[in-house]
Structure 1
Amino acid sequence: MLESDASQPAPKWSNLRVLSEFARSHLPSLLLGLVLALCGSAATLATPMVTKWVLDTLDTGASLKGPILTLVVLLIVGAVLGCAQWIVLGTAAEKVVFDARSSLVKRFLAATVPSLQSRSVGELVTRVTSDTLLLREAASSAAVNILNAAALTIGTIVLMGVLDLPLLGVTMVAIVFASILFAVLMPRISAAEARTQESLGQLGGVLEGGLRAIRTVKVSLAEDRVGALVTNNASD
């Protein structure tokens, strides 16, 4: 059976459960991506310390070969780790999308005829082709990015405390401000994204119906009316 009306938002915990189901089968890749991300963050956090080492060496007049070589190696390692993380998580994300689409197709084909006919073909196609793309980031790299960002934030606070206490104060103010902004904006962005996907499904349904009955539309001189319906859904 198809699920109930998509216009009714699913509970947050239900959404998390769905995400975890798709991500669970790709857990090794996600863990590898997390390790690469943390290693890349460690290289990023070490860069200011090495830069300080270069500046201190300039003051003493000692050889800059060691500090500069270390800085170059850190930059190269950070770039390689970032590229590897992008490849690993990108591959996992595409597999998540494939799994989601395969699951939806099987669910549609196993559904009863009345439940399928309760929705337009265009909307069902949109659910498979467009809505599944939202899982690409949510089920693959979102958790990795959250954990990596948390580790990077903690490391930055510790690093600022070691390098400069006034700089630590500025960093803490920036973190608090960003956290408040995040807490205020994210629920609204989430709700807007849900409305966008719902409108996109309706757009696909109206457009598919209009194109399927294009002869009738033209005979009835209803081009403007159908076009207005599609435009209204696109503008929501």
Structure 2
Amino acid sequence: MGEDTATSSRRRPSTGPRGPRATFRQLLPYLFEQRGHLAFIALLSVLGALFSLTQPLLVGGVIERVQQAAPLDWMLWALVGVVLASALLNGYQHYLLQRLGERVVLASRRRLIAKILFLPISEFDRRRTGDLVSRIGSDTTLLRAVLTQGLVETIGGALLFIGALIGMLVIDPLLFLITFGIIALALVVVVGLSARIRPEVARAQEKVGDLAAAVDRAIGSIRTIRAAGAAERQQAAIEHEAEEAYRHGIRVARISALIVPVSFIAMQVSLLAVLGLGGYRVATGSITVAQLVTFIIFLFMMIMPLGQAFGAISAVNQALGALGRIQEIVALPVESDHDAELSPAGRILPLDAAAATAPAATADARTPPPAIRFDRVSFTYRSAAPQRVDVRDLVRGAGRGARRDAEAAPAPVVETPVLHEVTFEVPRGSRVALVGPSGAGKSTILGLLERFYDPDHGSISLHGADLRTLDRRELRAQFGYVEQDAPVLAGSIRDNLRLAAPEASDGECERVLRAVNLGGLLDRTAATIPAALDAEVGERGIMLSGGEKQRL
């Protein structure tokens, strides 16, 4: 069989940025999944706004009765009841919002997990494990802030805001115009600042992903790192990633911090203007003391939903920055999305049907086709070139500039041809070994059989059926696949044995272990654990030897 084992690289510029920018429309599906709960919380928010709007009116009535030396009767008790009811509603609403936020995070994590586990293998070749983990853990938590920091509360807040505006306008139009002008100016400033948060959050989350990837790489290779005396250099590299995440996080904090004083200044200036001008208008008899107090309470009620709106604007922009990274993965196709289009039959067939409809592979149609046939198969690995920064630059303190230069350059694509016009057959019932130097394509052939990849040219058949016509699950059920590095999942011996056969009994598990000469493993663990199959294998199977990992 002919193989091109020489590795060559041809670089070309990337066709797009590191990730798409999310829009508010893309955020809506995450919220609408919880529309029933959202509607109930919005109703509570509206009720809370109505209770709040009655408070200034009751306070004004109490002041007028006190000035007139009239009995308060029911009015004082009504004010106390309204305040208590409003507080209880707000507390219950806060709990529901927190719970709803956790639901949104859970739904987004489920969506990401369901996508990541079924991505094409080529995506895992070019993406770092730590970055994918960071998207599930860190990025999704930012979606919670959309609900817990004011977005839903703005529904009732809008009613409270409009009601307060009307109340202020009715009491004193002049005071209202001055107050509204100050707050409108503050709102323009806040919206402008918030627009700068989204790209900074996206960059900050990317740095968190870089940090997670660096830590994952170091921990996964900790024995090699220790043996090579490279722990200090790895520490420097990881600390650099942590500093980059910190630096971008500070940028987000700096922009967010500007929103707080703007809101505070707007509130203080509005209050001072109302007190100064309002006191003058009380002195001139334009309004009464009760009306001024009522106006001030309405002012606070107008500012409170504005604060919620400012927080919601900031939270939404932060969430959209993280959502861009989430959507980058969610938008990717899973490996089976285009199987029907790739199939020569135009559809996916069961193995028996595909084999029955396949043309005869030999001159004698009565002779069954070979178990496996490669016909002029060529394949090339394609991956994004990693951004490389020399660890020595990090130690010398030049890593930050080197990192910026690497990120500014377009991400190239590296093409590595592995197989070229490969043709061979494996007869039924035979035992065949692939022998060749490292990098010759032996593992690639097995990966093509499992359809982790599809060939660039040529065809591969199983019992005469083209692999592309077969359902991937049924195809993979025909093979027993053991990776070269023999990965073992953290958990028990039973967990690993049942990975592909979840219904297997303990007796079947023990029989298959002894069949592959792992009876000694059972006997060794049975001495310390009553159920030997419950023995933990450790992270990446560290409790097992290399041979035991492969056989398990």
TM-score by length of 1: 0.87
Amino acid at match of 2:168: M
Change (3 A) 1:190 1:151: farther
Tell me which of 106, 109, 115 is aligned to 1:107: 115
* Kept after mapping to 1: 8 A contact 2:30/2:104: yes
Match of 1:169 in 2: 177
User: Match for residue 138 of structure 1?
Assistant: 146
**Higher strand proportion (structure 1 or 2):** 2
Q: 2:197 aligns with which of 189, 195, 209?
A: 189
Partner of 1:157: 165
For 1:25-63, what per-residue CA distance to the aligned partner results, in whole angstroms no more than 9, with x for missing partners? Answer: 210110111111111122222211111111001011111
* In structure 1, distance between residues paired with 2:18 and 2:157: 33
Once residues 143 and 133 of structure 2 are traced to their aligned partners in structure 1, the CA distance between those partners, rounded to angstroms, is: 16
Which one of 114, 137, 141 corresponds to residue 129 of structure 1?
Answer: 137
Q: Which amino acid aligns with 1:176?
A: A
Going from structure 1 to structure 2, the CA distance change for 1:163 and 1:27 (only over 3 Å counts) comes to same
Match of 1:26 among 20, 29, 34: 34
Q: Distance in 1 between matches of 2:71 and 2:201?
A: 55
Structure 2 letter corresponding to 1:106: A
Q: 1:234 aligns with which of 228, 246, 252?
A: 246
Match of 1:10 among 18, 21, 32: 21
Query: Is the 1:89–1:141 contact (alpha carbons within 8 Å) kept by the matching residues of 2?
Result: no
Q: What RMSD in Å do the two structures reach over aligned CA positions?
A: 2.3
Deviates more, 1:122-131 or 1:80-89: 80-89
Taking the TM superposition and a 5 Å limit, the aligned residue runs for 1:210-229 are: 210-218=218-226, 219-220=229-230, 221-222=232-233, 223-229=235-241
Between the two proteins, what is the percent identity of the paired residues?
Answer: 25
SS in 2 for 1:8: coil
Compared with structure 1, are the counterparts of its residues 101 and 230 closer, same or farther at alpha carbon in structure 2 (3 Å cutoff)?
A: same
Preserved CA contact (<8 Å) 1:40 1:78:
yes
**2:25 partner amino acid:** L
Q: Does 1:96 align with 2:74?
A: no
On the 8 A contact 1:123/1:202 being kept in 2, the answer is yes
Distance, in Å, in 2 between the alignment partners of 1:151 and 1:190 is 28
Q: Structure 2: give runs of 5+ residues left out of the alignment.
A: 1-14, 249-552
Paired residue total? 230
- TM-aligned CA deviation for residue 143 of structure 1: 4.1
1:209 shift after superposition:
1.4
Using the alignment, how far apart are the partners of 2:133 and 2:157 within structure 1? Answer: 36
CA shift, 1:190, in A, is: 2.1
| SS of residue in 2 equivalent to 1:154 | helix
Equivalent residue letter for 2:75: P
Judging changes above 3 Å, is the alpha-carbon distance between structure 1 residues 112 and 144 closer, same or farther for their aligned structure 2 residues?
A: same
| Change over 3 Å in CA distance of 1:231–1:214 after alignment to 2 | farther
Q: What one-letter code is carried by the residue in structure 2 that aligns with 1:48?
A: P
Task: Tell me if structure 1 keeps the 8 A contact 2:101–2:148.
Answer: yes
Q: CA deviation at 1:191?
A: 2.2
Helix, strand or coil at the partner of 1:130:
helix
Would you say 1:40 and 2:54 are equivalent positions?
A: no
Between structures 1 and 2, the one with greater helix share: 1
Pick aligned residue for 2:76 from 42, 46, 68 = 68
Rounded Cα–Cα distance in structure 1 between residues aligned with 2:34 and 2:129: 31
Q: Is the 8 A contact 2:105 2:140 kept in 1?
A: yes
Q: Which has the higher contact order (CA 8 A, sep 6+)?
A: 1
Residues 163-199 of structure 1: per-residue CA shift (max 9 Å, x gap): 3334312331233123212221110122222222222
Moved more, 24-33 or 190-199: 190-199
Q: In 2, Cα distance between the equivalents of 1:151 and 1:34?
A: 11
Aligned mates of 2:89, 2:237 — CA distance in 1 = 53
Q: Deviations over 1:138-185 (max 9, x none)?
A: 267754233333222211110111233343123312331232122211
Q: Compared with structure 1, are the counterparts of its residues 5 and 104 closer, same or farther at alpha carbon in structure 2 (3 Å cutoff)?
A: farther
Contact 1:22 1:139 in 2 (8 A): no
Deviation track 1:39-90 (CA, whole Å, cap 9, x = no partner) reads: 1122222211111111001011111242211110110111111112112222
Q: Which residue of 2 aligns with 1:85?
A: 93
Contact 2:134 2:208 in 1 (8 A): yes
Could you state the TM-score of these two structures normalised by the residue count of structure 2? 0.39
The answer as to whether partners of 1:206 and 1:230 remain within 8 angstroms in 2 is: no
Q: CA shift at 1:126, angstroms? A: 1.0
Paired residue for 1:58? 66
Deviation, 1:5, is 7.9
Aligned 8 A contact 1:120 1:209 in 2: no
